[in-house]
């Protein structure tokens, strides 16, 4: 196997591409692999967009048949119908593995890892390396969406998760928190392959004229103090903390104005209406990935309310860093790894703690400027190329261990 020219079959058990964090990781990892001369095929569901930039066009996206034509869910979260979709995806992956003879099965999420493991065993003579790419905890993800309320199901899925966590020749994960959790379950090393950010997206000058133009385009008051949240508007992203914090902030800061950008919007819209703060909040939904620089470009402060619940990384924080945004978030291991001391950390994981941290950001412009400059500089450490280095190195090590092949130089 040539390290600099691998054939990679990526397994994405999700409606790729939708404008959210899991899909951004899948896309950007594949783009980085293509830039390095690898051949990448992504096997995924029957729905989702196909990115059409120059690099993405070199990625071969293969979809399952539309047998479940009524299934159109793009947002994050479990669904029992995905069992059928994943069976169809396993069939697609087996077909592609037979035809394309990949060197690596790059499996995202627990479902993808299970599919890759089955295909690897069925085609054992092909000597394919399985890279398990874990984004978070299966059980905690399902529980955060209201599944597994019965203890018997939770125990069952804990066993399934532990079983799957020991599949694959090598495992990578996006967060240091998840690395700690997985290391307690897995026999073998777990590597952190962090998310990244393309800082060239954010080279625009932040002039007063540009900020005013962007705010006018989105209907945001020109003289407001704008706090922005971008990403999925679901419970396990901490959105409930933010929704309860918004009235607290608005009561104390008359110029505070919130921009909530992502999907699905229904729950957030209802919560804002109940609080009577429609005139202090703009909801942008959906949020196309390519428009992220504009949405961040009109804000003064960015917030990530995700707690430690599902052990996920925070790709949005890296985007905030790339854009040079002062950031409000909870004080947790992954955020500290990205931001160090250069953030407005909430004193505790609660809506009130988040509101107080947002208030501190609004009332300390000097610290905002200091933190913004620091995180912008730090973002250079977190390129997608850095993640591609990790991927290539762990594949080479796995190949050497499993098949005795020397590492490429």
Same domain flag for 370 and 227: yes
DSSP secondary structure letters along 8-67: EEEE--S-SS-SSHHHHHHHHHHHHHHHTT-EEEEEE-S-S----STTGGGSEEEE---T
Same domain flag for 37 and 121: yes
Is 353 in contact with 405 (CB distance < 8 Å)?
Answer: no
- What's residue 1's pLDDT? 47
What totals of helices (H) and strands (E) does the chain contain, helices first?
15, 13
Same domain flag for 279 and 183: no
Report the number of distinct structural domains present in the chain. Answer: 2
Q: Please enumerate in sequence order all residues whose Cβ is within 8 A of that of 309, keeping only pairs 6 or more positions apart, or say none.
A: 140, 144, 236
CATH code for the domain of 215 = 3.40.50.2000
Report which secondary-structure segment, H or E, holds 130. strand 129-134
String of b and e for 319-336 (b: at least 16 CB within 10 Å)? bbbbbbbbbbbbbbebbe
Q: Which residue has 């928190």 as its token pair? A: 177
Same domain flag for 192 and 61: yes
State the distance between the two ends of the chain, measured CA to CA, in whole angstroms: 12
- What's residue 165's pLDDT? 93
**Exposed, middle or buried by CB within 10 Å (0-12, 13-18, 19+), for 231?**
buried
Tens-digit pLDDT profile for the chain (409 aa)?
455 699 999 999 999 999 988 999 999 999 999 999 999 999 999 999 999 889 999 999 999 999 999 999 988 778 889 999 999 999 999 999 999 999 999 999 999 999 999 999 999 999 999 999 998 888 777 777 677 777 888 888 889 989 999 999 999 999 888 899 899 889 889 999 999 999 899 988 889 999 999 999 999 999 999 999 999 898 878 999 999 999 999 999 999 999 999 999 999 999 999 999 999 999 999 999 999 999 999 999 999 999 876 666 788 999 999 999 999 999 998 999 999 999 999 999 999 999 999 999 999 999 999 999 999 999 999 999 999 999 999 999 999 887 666 555 4
Same domain flag for 333 and 272: yes
Same domain flag for 259 and 370: yes
Residue 202 in tokens: 């954010």
Same domain flag for 79 and 188: yes
> Is 409 a domain residue?
no
Same domain flag for 170 and 93: yes
Confidence (pTM): 0.90
**Exposed, middle or buried by CB within 10 Å (0-12, 13-18, 19+), for 251?**
exposed
Same domain flag for 156 and 207: no
d(CA 380, CA 370): 17
> Is 331 a domain residue?
yes
Same domain flag for 81 and 226: no
Same domain flag for 205 and 239: yes
Same domain flag for 387 and 377: no
Q: Which domain range does residue 92 map to?
A: 3-196+383-403
Is 128 in contact with 104 (CB distance < 8 Å)?
Answer: yes
Is 285 in contact with 262 (CB distance < 8 Å)?
Answer: yes
> Is 124 a domain residue?
yes
């Amino acid at each position: 196997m040539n390290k600099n020219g691998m054939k990679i079959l990526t397994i994405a058990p999700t409606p790729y591409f939708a404008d959210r964090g899991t899909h951004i990781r899948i896309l950007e990892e594949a783009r980085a692999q293509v830039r390095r001369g690898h051949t990448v095929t992504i096997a995924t569901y029957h729905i989702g967009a196909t990115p059409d930039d120059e690099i993405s066009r070199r990625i071969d996206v293969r979809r399952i048949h539309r047998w479940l034509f009524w299934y159109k869910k793009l947002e994050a979260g479990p669904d029992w119908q995905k069992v059928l979709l994943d069976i169809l995806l396993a069939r697609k992956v087996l077909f592609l593995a037979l035809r394309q003879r990949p060197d690596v099965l790059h499996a995202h999420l627990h479902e993808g890892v299970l599919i890759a493991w089955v295909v690897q065993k069925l085609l054992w003579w092909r000597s394919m390396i399985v890279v398990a790419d874990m984004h978070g905890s299966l059980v905690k993800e399902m529980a955060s969406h209201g599944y597994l309320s019965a203890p018997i199901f939770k125990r069952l899925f804990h066993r399934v998760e532990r079983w799957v966590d020991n599949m694959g020749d090598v495992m990578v994960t996006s967060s240091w928190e998840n690395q700690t959790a997985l290391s307690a379950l897995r026999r073998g090393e777990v590597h952190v392959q962090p998310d990244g950010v393309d800082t060239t997206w954010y080279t625009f000058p932040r002039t007063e004229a540009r900020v005013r133009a962007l705010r006018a385009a989105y209907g945001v008051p020109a003289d407001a103090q704008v706090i922005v949240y971008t990403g999925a508007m679901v419970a396990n992203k901490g959105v409930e903390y933010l929704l309860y914090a918004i009235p607290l902030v608005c009561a104390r800061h008359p110029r505070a104005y919130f921009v909530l950008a992502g999907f699905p919007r229904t729950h957030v819209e209802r919560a804002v209406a109940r609080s009577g703060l429609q005139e202090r909040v703009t909801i942008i939904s959906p949020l196309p990935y390519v428009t992220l620089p504009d949405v961040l470009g009109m804000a003064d402060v960015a917030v990530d309310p995700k707690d430690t619940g599902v052990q996920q990384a925070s790709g949005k924080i890296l985007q905030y860093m790339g854009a040079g945004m002062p950031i409000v978030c909870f004080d947790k291991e992954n955020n500290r790894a990205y931001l160090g001391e250069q953030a407005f950390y909430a004193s505790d994981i609660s809506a009130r703690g988040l509101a107080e941290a947002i208030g501190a950001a609004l009332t300390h412009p000097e610290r905002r400027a200091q933190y913004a400059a620091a995180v912008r500089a730090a973002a250079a450490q977190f390129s997608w190329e850095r993640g591609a280095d990790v991927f290539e190195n762990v594949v080479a090590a796995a190949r050497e261990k499993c098949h005795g092949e020397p590492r490429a130089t």
